A and B are shown apart, each in its own frame.
Chain A
């Protein structure tokens, strides 16, 4: 009896140690590239590939990177870009989701199916034709051009429609009796009650577009419009003379804002991704 009870206990304890060691080995392995980048960024370049515990720390690499390329401008461009996209998405997706959730009109189901097409065929793979359109509109090399293809997001429409559908109709009826019109109901009833969905969507949208690269690369060609990702690629790719310490510093610099936001609001970010993912 006692030996039977003991055996699994011993087994599970040994087991737990084994699992902990394995999990942490993988964890450290996962952190290694990042830790390495941090090492090179915070040490003089002669220590880039030499690991000495007491190597002098420095912030010079960050200063050099900051001055060598227009990173403040890139940062501003990215900030403008993600806010423009988010504002456009919130407006367009809210209206469309409201239409799909609460109005019946001829062609609604077909229209909804056409919206869902974008979940599969994202603007990212249509760069050739979208460039043609943007070129014809004379918008090449503007922040608006980067934002336009992402404004109507199928994903946002879908997510908000699901949320709006869960809101009891009685609330809408009550607001109507109070004298609210179509938009009044949306503003007073639906939007406030969908706040968690909006937060989740906003976090997913911002982190996606903060990191987006290919389309911005295609439609921008000056410092005034380039977002951080493109600026970083240009900076690291221009010539081989720039040393690794500075490139590492620039890399950390351009990832830092989002990374810090994530560290501060971990729970909200993860909840956001989950909420956005569960369809």
Chain B
């Protein structure tokens, strides 16, 4: 079976070349992904070195502190709510947008552009724009409410609306990005399916749920995985809009890690918090592996 070219000497040369080619990337990956992931765990078991006091081993004390830390609980709860509240609307909107701009609609190109443009803006810029949008009295949102005779509202300043206001911004930024994946998938769908469904007397609703939606399933899974990772990874807008406030009402896990690690310089506790984030991402990875890899495999 194997061709004669696989002589031992050649095989060795190929192995050597392979490893040499891989080496630079392997070193960088090990240094900035694998090592820090492991070091996070190690450092989470130690106190933070301060001044001339070296870090000392404290076992799982940070994790016990975490269980008793109300801000951590809030950050975790907020983050789960944030994930749910941004993923579902942005995926639903992405599908609707894709259906619209895939059909024959007036000004289709301009419409695609309108939906997609927020994706290209830095999250920091987006946050600035929306900050002004939300400004009490002065901002556009309150001006529109004023026209309807509604009183001014401090959207970002009150604990019961801050998180929702921040979530809206994430949906605005992400829906258009997910739209292009659905659009690409819709363009693969044969128009005959629709004709067949119409002949069978299926309503549009039935056609969507029974024909189109199952066909879009691989795209949906791909988008869901990405959206979930983003929900835990992208917290830039908090820095401008709420700083996690008021009273931590809009804080998210990574933002809290930043505050503990770089504002209070408690890197030991920040490492323990990072472990929680890594565990959450590992769950996403596992779901992806079990669910997605069965259809699309890396070969």
Point out residues on A near B: beta carbons under 8 Å.
Answer: 16, 19-20, 22-24, 26-28, 30-34, 36-37, 40, 48-49, 91-93, 95-96, 98-100, 103-106, 108, 111-112, 114-118, 120-133, 148-149, 151-152, 154, 157-158, 182, 207, 210-211, 213-214, 217-218, 228-229, 232-233, 236-237, 244, 247-248, 251-252, 254-255, 258-259, 262-263, 266, 269-270, 273-274, 277-279
7 pairs, CB–CB < 8 Å, chain A vs chain B: A30-B118, A96-B26, A108-B18, A125-B277, A133-B32, A233-B124, A259-B121
Q: A30-B172, A182-B17, A213-B122 are in contact. Are A118 and B29 (CB under 8 A)?
A: yes
Additional A-B contact list (18), CB under 8 Å, known A121-B33, A259-B121: A33-B126, A37-B129, A98-B21, A103-B14, A103-B15, A120-B284, A124-B233, A125-B254, A125-B281, A126-B37, A152-B32, A154-B33, A211-B122, A233-B124, A258-B122, A259-B117, A259-B120, A263-B113
State whether the Cβ of B68 lies closer than 8 Å to any Cβ in chain A. Answer: no
Among residues of B, the one whose C-beta sits closest to the C-beta of A122 is B233
Among residues of A, the one whose C-beta sits closest to the C-beta of B19 is A105
The CB with the most chain A CB atoms within 10 A, among B140, B271, B278, is that of: B140
In the complex, the answer to whether A213 meets B140 with C-beta atoms within 8 Å is: no
State whether the Cβ of B105 lies closer than 8 Å to any Cβ in chain A. Answer: yes
State whether the Cβ of B231 lies closer than 8 Å to any Cβ in chain A. Answer: no
For B115, list chain A residues within 8 Å (CB).
Answer: 26-27, 30
Complex partner residue of A279 from B28, B222, B254, B257, CB under 8 angstroms: B222
Q: How far is the CB of A38 from chain B (nearest CB, A)?
A: 10
For A129, list chain B residues within 8 Å (CB).
Answer: 35-37, 39-40, 43, 271, 274
Main DSSP-derived SS at the A contact region? helix
Tell me, in angstroms, the Cα distance from A90 to B226 when the chains sit together: 23
State whether the Cβ of B70 lies closer than 8 Å to any Cβ in chain A. Answer: no
Among residues of B, the one whose C-beta sits closest to the C-beta of A31 is B114
State whether the Cβ of B267 lies closer than 8 Å to any Cβ in chain A. Answer: yes
Chain B contact patch, size range: 35 or more
In the complex, the answer to whether A125 meets B180 with C-beta atoms within 8 Å is: no
For B120, list chain A residues within 8 Å (CB).
Answer: 207, 255, 258-259, 262, 269
For B72, list chain A residues within 8 Å (CB).
Answer: none
In the complex, the answer to whether B22 meets A99 with C-beta atoms within 8 Å is: yes
Among residues of B, the one whose C-beta sits closest to the C-beta of A253 is B125
Tell me, in angstroms, the Cα distance from A154 to B121 when the chains sit together: 24
For B278, list chain A residues within 8 Å (CB).
Answer: 121, 125
For A48, list chain B residues within 8 Å (CB).
Answer: 138
Q: A27-B114, A266-B113 are in contact. Are A92 and B28 (CB under 8 A)?
A: yes
In the complex, the answer to whether B128 meets A232 with C-beta atoms within 8 Å is: yes
In the complex, the answer to whether B17 meets A232 with C-beta atoms within 8 Å is: no
Among residues of B, the one whose C-beta sits closest to the C-beta of A134 is B32
**Which one of B56-64, B83-91, B95-103, B159-167 is at the interface?**
B95-103
For A20, list chain B residues within 8 Å (CB).
Answer: 105-106
